[in-house]
């Protein structure tokens, strides 16, 4: 699974190269992080790194992070993307906000529905997905 770097005050973040000028950053503060801590983390990154874009994670970013953890989990590694039930963002958000661990999500919503998810994606995208 992806490891997140942390600022000196403990706020996790991701970065991705945006251009030759630098990277885009997404900060993932939690309830324990105050607005002052977030501002300090932003200052730190601007001072220490080549920042082209900066964002504090919103609900969709947290959903995408949760979804990425599902796809990166060892239990889903033998599966193809179209066999993993992780496209229902309402379900993802509900389970993430409830605090459902990734493994629990996979046990409840992915592994029992591999065939159904595959069939739904074949119907949606066609048999070509099987050839990629």
Tens of pLDDT, residue by residue over 44-99, are 999 999 999 999 999 999 999 999 999 999 999 999 999 999 999 999 999 999 99
What pLDDT, in 10s, does the model give residues 100-117? 999 999 999 999 999 999
For the segment 4-32, the average pLDDT, to the nearest whole number, is 96
The 3-class SS string of the chain reads: CCCCEECCCCCEEEEEEEECCEEEEEEECCCCCCHHHHHHHHHHHHHHCCEEEEEECCHHHHHHHHHHHHHHCCCCCCCCHHHCCCCCHHHHHHHHHHCCCHHHHHHHHHHHHHHHHHHHHHHHHCHHHHHC
- Sorted by where each begins, the domain ranges of the chain are 5-57, 60-131
**Model confidence at 131: pLDDT above 90:** no
Q: What is the per-residue pLDDT for 124?
A: 93
Separation between Cα atoms, residue 34 and residue 90, nearest integer Å:
28
Are 45 and 79 spatial neighbours (Cβ–Cβ below 8 Å)?
no
Quote the pLDDT of residue 132: 72
Q: Rounded to two decimals, what is the model's pTM?
A: 0.87
């Amino acid at each position: 699974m992806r490891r997140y770097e942390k600022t000196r005050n403990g706020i996790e973040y991701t970065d991705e190269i945006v251009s030759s000028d630098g990277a885009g950053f997404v900060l993932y503060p939690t309830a324990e992080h105050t607005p002052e801590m977030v501002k300090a983390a932003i200052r730190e990154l601007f001072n220490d790194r080549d920042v082209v874009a900066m964002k504090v994670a919103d609900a969709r970013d947290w959903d995408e992070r949760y979804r990425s953890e599902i796809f990166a989990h060892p239990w889903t590694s033998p599966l193809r993307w179209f066999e993993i039930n992780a496209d229902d963002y309402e379900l993802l958000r509900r389970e993430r906000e409830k605090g459902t661990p990734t493994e629990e999500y996979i046990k409840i919503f992915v592994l029992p529905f591999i065939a159904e998810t595959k069939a739904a994606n074949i119907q949606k995208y066609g048999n070509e997905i099987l050839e990629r």
